Amino acid sequence: MKNIHRIAALSVVPVAAALIALPAQAAEGPACPVPTKAEVKQSNDSKVDKPARGATAIKGVRVNHIPKGFTYGGVVTSKHNGITEYGYQWGDDRPNADVKQRSLWVRVVCWPKASKLAQLKNGPFNMGTFSGDTRTEKIGGRQVLTQEGDGALGDGRYAGWVERKGVVVTVMASTPLVPELSKIIEGIKL
């Protein structure tokens, strides 16, 4: 009987330690979402999804508000300078020169040094840098850095924020989608 009590007592210690550690893990949040090998290959091969994926297009990220009208999409990944960029681009079949052309790009950047919004101005991103005339404003309940879209990103509005230390989220919405940018940003959950 004493052995049973001793075994029971010993088995409670690891469980108690794990339960104590849970609040600390929850406060940190889950690790930064990274693409699978298959998604890296899809991105490298420039494969297109027809129809476009939905709210869970980026593993570990939920985009709860995706405007209607997209006909295709694709995973976009990049790994360089100690960071991983992982996102999804939605688009329609209109040419880029068409003012009604609709595109949306949501990206997560795993950048261990990221902790403050101001750092995005000098972020080591391959594409979608905050190099223009930036502003800090509140959109979709988040404090974000914004700038007007430029030639590389297309026309529209570009926004980004530090979700938590080491995790940056950026969104590029084409001009017709700018009125929905607040709903898009508010609906992004990691």
pLDDT digits (tens, 9 = 90+) for 58-75: 999 999 999 999 999 999
pLDDT band at 30 (very low <50, low <70, confident <90, very high): low
pLDDT: is 98 or 162 the higher one?
A: 162
25 pLDDT higher than 80: no
Tokens of 49: 């999804």
| Residue 151 in this model has a pLDDT that exceeds 50 | yes
pLDDT in tens, 75-92: 999 999 889 999 999 999
Residue 166, pLDDT score: 97
d(CA 15, CA 42) in angstroms, rounded, equals 41
Rounded Cα gap, residues 153 and 156, in angstroms: 8
**What is the rounded CA–CA span in Å between residue 159 and residue 110?**
16
User: How many residues belong to the chain?
Assistant: 190
Mean pLDDT of the chain: 84
* 179 preceded by a cis bond (ω within 30 of 0): no
CA-closest candidate to residue 56, choices 173, 160, 190: 190
Work out the angle at residue 163's Cα, subtended by the Cα atoms of residues 158 and 168, and round it to the nearest 5 degrees: 55
List the structure tokens of 138: 């509140």
Tell me if 132 sits within 8 A of 151, measured CB to CB.
no
Cβ-Cβ contacts under 8 Å for 149 (sequence gap 6 or more): 155, 156, 157, 158, 172, 174, 175
Cβ atoms of 182 and 140 within 8 Å: the answer is yes
CA-CA distance, 168 to 143, in Å (whole number)?
Answer: 12
pLDDT of residue 1: 46
Number of other CB atoms surrounding residue 137 within 10 Å: 11
Q: What is the DSSP letter of 136?
A: E
44's enclosing H/E stretch is: helix 37-44
**From residue 54, how far is each of 14, 44, 50, 96 by CA, in Å?**
40, 21, 11, 22
Q: Could you tell me the pTM of the whole model?
A: 0.82
